[in-house]
Amino acid sequence: MAAGFVYREHGLNCDGVAVADIVSAVGTPVYLYSAARVREAFTTLDRAFAAAPHTIHYALKANSTLALLRVLRALGAHADANSGGEIDVALRAGFEPGAIVFTGVGKTREELTKAAGLGLKAVNVESAGEAVRLGEIARALGRRVRVAVRVNPDIDAHTHTHIATGRRGNKFGVPLEHVPGLFRDLRARDGLDPVGLHVHLGSQLLDVAPLAAAARVLANLAREVRDAGIRIEHLDLGGGLGVAYDDGVAPSPAAYAEAVLPAIREAGAHLVLEPGRALVAPAGVLVGRVADLKAYPGSPRFVILDTGMTELIRPMLYGAFHRIGAVVPRPGEAPVSEIVGPLCETSDTLGRERAVGPVEVGDAIAVFDAGAYGMVMASNYNRRPMAAEVLIDAGGWRVVRRRQTIDDLLALEE
Ligand code: LLP
Q: pLDDT tens digit string along 206-241? A: 999 999 999 999 999 999 999 888 889 999 999 999
> Mean pLDDT over residues 139-144, rounded?
96
- Determine if ligand 1 sits within 6 Å of the CB of residue 310: no
How far apart are alpha carbons 69 and 59 in whole angstroms? 10
- Determine if ligand 1 sits within 6 Å of the CB of residue 204: yes
| pLDDT attached to residue 165 | 81
- Determine if ligand 1 sits within 6 Å of the CB of residue 93: no
> Mean pLDDT over residues 32-56, rounded?
98
Task: Name the band, by pLDDT with cuts 50, 70 and 90, for residue 258.
Answer: very high
- Residue in 89, 77, 65 with CA at minimum distance from that of residue 39: 77
Collapsing DSSP to helix, strand or coil, 36 comes out as helix
> Mean pLDDT over residues 369-385, rounded?
98
- Determine if ligand 1 sits within 6 Å of the CB of residue 4: no
Task: Name the band, by pLDDT with cuts 50, 70 and 90, for residue 325.
Answer: very high
| pLDDT attached to residue 61 | 98
| pLDDT attached to residue 227 | 87
> Mean pLDDT over residues 23-49, rounded?
98
How far apart are alpha carbons 253 and 363 in whole angstroms? 36
Question: Ligand 1 centroid to 159 CA: how many Å?
Answer: 12
How far apart are alpha carbons 194 and 213 in whole angstroms? 23
204 CB contacts (<8 Å, ≥6 apart)? 159, 160, 163, 240, 242, 243, 277
Q: Is 14 a catalytic residue?
A: no
- Determine if ligand 1 sits within 6 Å of the CB of residue 202: no
Question: Ligand 1 centroid to 276 CA: how many Å?
Answer: 6
DSSP conformation class of 251? P
Q: Above 90 in pLDDT, residue 153?
A: yes
| pLDDT attached to residue 88 | 98
Q: Above 90 in pLDDT, residue 410?
A: yes
E strands, 84-144, where?
Answer: 100-102, 122-125
- Determine if ligand 1 sits within 6 Å of the CB of residue 369: no
Residue in 162, 274, 279 to alter for ligand 1 test, most ligand atoms within 8 A of Cβ: 274
Pick the atom of ligand 1 nearest to 314's CA. Answer: 24
Question: Ligand 1 centroid to 202 CA: how many Å?
Answer: 7
| pLDDT attached to residue 247 | 87
| pLDDT attached to residue 203 | 95
> Mean pLDDT over residues 286-315, rounded?
97
Are the C-beta atoms of 314 and 72 separated by less than 8 Å?
Answer: no
Are the C-beta atoms of 400 and 65 separated by less than 8 Å?
Answer: yes
**Which residue's CA is minimally distant from atom 24 of ligand 1?**
373
Mean residue pLDDT across the chain: 96
> Mean pLDDT over residues 289-310, rounded?
97
Q: What's the predicted TM-score (pTM) here?
A: 0.97
> Mean pLDDT over residues 100-123, rounded?
97
- Determine if ligand 1 sits within 6 Å of the CB of residue 363: no
Q: Which of 50, 188, 344, 412 is catalytic?
A: 344
How far apart are alpha carbons 19 and 245 in whole angstroms? 20
Are the C-beta atoms of 274 and 57 separated by less than 8 Å?
Answer: yes
Number of H helices, E strands in the chain: 12, 21
Residue in 207, 277, 279 to alter for ligand 1 test, most ligand atoms within 8 A of Cβ: 277
CB atoms within 10 A of CB 385: 15
Q: Above 90 in pLDDT, residue 308?
A: yes
Are the C-beta atoms of 239 and 280 separated by less than 8 Å?
Answer: no
| pLDDT attached to residue 355 | 95
Question: Ligand 1 centroid to 163 CA: how many Å?
Answer: 7
| pLDDT attached to residue 1 | 57
> Mean pLDDT over residues 344-365, rounded?
96
Question: Ligand 1 centroid to 82 CA: how many Å?
Answer: 10
Element (H, E) at 219: helix 209-227
